[in-house]
Structure 1
Amino acid sequence: MSTTVDPALISNDFLRVRPDWLALRTEAVLEPDLPIVDPHHHLWDHPGNPYLLSDLLADTGSGHSVMATVYVEARSMYRAGGPIELRSLGETEFVNGIAAMSASGAYGPTAACAAIIGNVDLRLGSRARAALEAHVAVSGGRFRGIRNVSAWHPDGIKATSASPPQGLLLDRGFRDGFACLAPLGLTFDAWLMHTQLDEVLDLARAFPDTTIVLDHVGGPVGIGPYVGQREAVFAAWAAAIRALARCPNVNVKLGGLGMHLIGFDFHARPQPPSSQDLASAWKPYIETCIAAFGAGRCMFESNFPVDKGTCSYRVLWNAFKRLTTGFSADEKAALYSGTARKVYRLPG
């Protein structure tokens, strides 16, 4: 079930969101009272593909009980001028404004962007501390950490519109900047491909006091040279996940499997997938992560609007809920909200 991606279905390096196509699949909400903290979504105003507060709330308000969300950097609304190392402050300011709007209560019960993961280029080295402190200062108390995308592949496979250098997590200047995170109580979100998981492992061992969150189950690639190689990729990925799980400072986000990078062909079908379809396809990845990390270090994520190219928000969370049928109440509490609240320091 791997495929190359029709270029007509790509927008801004992601699967294009097609509302009319998504509307072809309707489902009742499963476990509608289960509290959810969505720890990974973006906001942007891309031409022809905007995703702003009203779009987010339409998704979070589609039936599941989403109590709060965590915004993750997307190079959105950077300042147009000023020192380059401070231009990403524009994104934190923008998102903090959205969060303040949501906190007014005028937009419904979901606390949108209750925590913010921004972007500071850690290759600044020790100078990164001042930039990190500037983000904290403009965030209204919501800034929790950063993400530096490090997804790189020698064949030019794209996991994002960003273009990070090879070996970013191993770079000496980057690590000097990374050392600034723990003293400020900040976390690091890692987004890369499964072929780079050894780099996260090395980083986690070098900085055991820094909380690292592995995004999108570690990016098991299913496109490019990996088409038709799902079993081999899975074996290599699973071994790396189990090794990484031995680092107690690492947590993992369960999601992102709707991206074109992963190589499933749901986007190419006449109708969008059902939650049963998704649960069946995603089960090996989700179960491997939970078995390795435990529910207390795993958190389900939407990765919207990126994964919205594959399915609706309602169907996505239904798929996750199908995968946790039979889990204990404590395990569900951790997976759907508790781990996210703990890692990103959100009130319970």
Structure 2
Amino acid sequence: MSDPLLDPASRQIVVRPDWLAQLQEPILEPGLPIVDPHHHLWERAHGDYLLADLLADAGSGHDVRGTVFVQCGEMYRASGPDAERSLGETEFVTGVAAVSASGRHGRTRACAGIIGMVDLTLGDRVTPLLERHAATAGGRFCGVRNRTAWHASPEITTNLVSPAPGPLQHPAFADGARRLAAFGLPLDVWAYHTQLAHVAALARAVPELTVVIDHVGGPLGIGPFTGKQADVFPDWKQQIQALAALPNTVVKLGGLTMYVSGFDFHKRPKPPGSEELAATWRPYIETCIEAFGPARCMFESNFPVDKGMCSYPVLWNALKRLALGAGPDEKTALFSGTAMRVYKLDRLPPALAIDLG
């Protein structure tokens, strides 16, 4: 049965501001600095999410000092060589970042880091493309993500443009990843839990590369996995622990209210509160923190994708509840420190720097 709240084009839950506004919570630990290391910007038929929208969310109570934009196929150039069209996205986001860096829209430094798209299967062409993205971004280019999430079931959302099963298993992908590592940049990987063995193989093949696993490794709860979260969890956990044993891996903690996760908070009359979200997410978040340690974990919003099921203030309240037992240094790592280190945001020039003081 189709979900009436699922946009058929984007395969994302439709954001309903009036529905989200039904639940308001006091902000927990409002003075805790946050660097949100994973969000998108776009103009799309199912709803725009641009600088004003991001800043409205970031300014809704939590102390969000800076953010990292992650590739989403937005504003590609309309013409030119295929490999260069993604430069349009980096150009677009650099302009947004410049507006934010003016300080005219508040303290948050939106898009202080930019994770762009360079096709790592291109071999020798990867390095000059990385150089062009870096030059375009004016010091903000901090990583690459390719379209890698794939599953054989037609019921499971995929963002692939390349032929199945996607670039992770392409023989040239590791070669491109080596060039990325030589450039000093990490690779973000959005993969479903069924692909994590391939992610581990890549991390082993290119030990000099930092591999950032998005959205707790994508445990699936739709298609053939519908209603089977309890069955998926042990396999997912085993794969996460195997990845954590590799010292060049890092994990982002979030993305659990995407449609592919199988949770259905969006179908309720009112949105979920942070206590319920924290209880639902706890097994996944605690497994990751125990496996990787706080210094290799970073909380993320994954907005606006996750906004279909919860608001920005409630999401960060839930993450703060999950970190209640953490010490001061661990909490700093989870909410800002790991992101600052992995994406080298602590090395930004003074004019672009995120103020965590």
Q: Same fold (TM over 0.5)?
A: yes
Q: Which amino acid aligns with 1:299?
A: M
Deviation, structure 1 residue 228: 2.0
Aligned 8 A contact 1:193 1:220 in 2: yes
Please state how far the C-alpha of 1:5 moved relative to its aligned partner: 6.0
Distance (Å, rounded) in 2 between the aligned partners of 1:82 and 1:341: 34
Q: How does 1:1-348 map to 2 (within 5 A)?
A: 6-10=3-7, 12-164=10-162, 165-166=164-165, 168-347=167-346
Q: What is the letter of the counterpart of residue 94 of structure 2?
A: N
Q: Is the 8 A contact 1:255 1:301 kept in 2?
A: yes
Shift of 1:114: 0.3
Deviations 1:171-229 (A, max 9, x none): 11222211210111111000010000000000000111111100000000001111121
2:74 is matched by which residue type in structure 1? Answer: S
Distance in 1 between residues matched to 2:108 and 2:341, nearest whole Å:
18
User: How far apart are the structure 2 equivalents of 1:287 and 1:183?
Assistant: 33
User: Residues 250 and 159 of structure 1: is their aligned pair in 2 closer, same or farther, counting only changes over 3 Å?
Assistant: farther
In the aligned structure 1, how far is the partner of 2:30 from the partner of 2:214?
Answer: 25
C-alpha distance in 2 between matches for 1:159 and 1:219: 12
**Counterpart residue identity of residue 328, structure 1:** G
C-alpha contact 1:5 1:260 (8 A) present in aligned 2: no
Unpaired runs of 5+ in structure 1? none
User: Alpha carbons of 1:136 and 1:199: their partners in 2 closer, same or farther (altered >3 Å)?
Assistant: same
User: In 2, are the aligned partners of 1:148 and 1:190 still within 8 Å (CA)?
Assistant: yes
After superposition, the C-alpha distances for 1:312-337 in whole angstroms (9 at most, x for unaligned) are: 00000000011111211111000000
Post-superposition shift, 1:22? 0.4
* Contact 1:125/1:175 (8 A) holds in 2: no
Q: Work out whether residues 188 and 212 of structure 1, in 8 Å CA contact, stay in contact via their aligned partners in 2.
A: yes
1:295: Cα distance to partner?
0.1
Q: Within 1, Cα distance between the matches of 2:275 and 2:147?
A: 31
- 2:160, 2:48 → 1: CA distance? 18
SS state of the match for residue 145, structure 1?
strand
Give the Cα separation in 2 of the matches to 1:247 and 1:101. Answer: 39
SS in 2 for 1:172: coil
Amino acid at match of 1:220: P
State the one-letter code of the partner of 1:136: A
Amino acid at match of 1:50: D
| Closer/same/farther in 2, CA of residues 229 and 175 from structure 1, 3 Å limit | same
Aligned residues: 345
Contact 1:13 1:158 in 2 (8 A): no
CA contact (8 A) 1:116 1:145 kept: yes
Q: Distance in 1 between matches of 2:7 and 2:105?
A: 31
Q: Secondary structure at the match of 1:133?
A: helix
Partner-residue secondary structure (3-state), 2:61:
coil
Please provide the CA RMSD for this pair. 1.2
Structure 1's 5 and 32: CA in aligned 2 closer, same or farther, altered over 3 A?
farther
- Between the aligned residues of both structures, percent identity stands at 59
C-alpha distance in structure 2 between counterparts of 1:5 and 1:60, whole Å = 32
Deviations along 1:27-75, whole A, 9 cap, x unmatched? 0100000000000000001124000000000000000000000000000
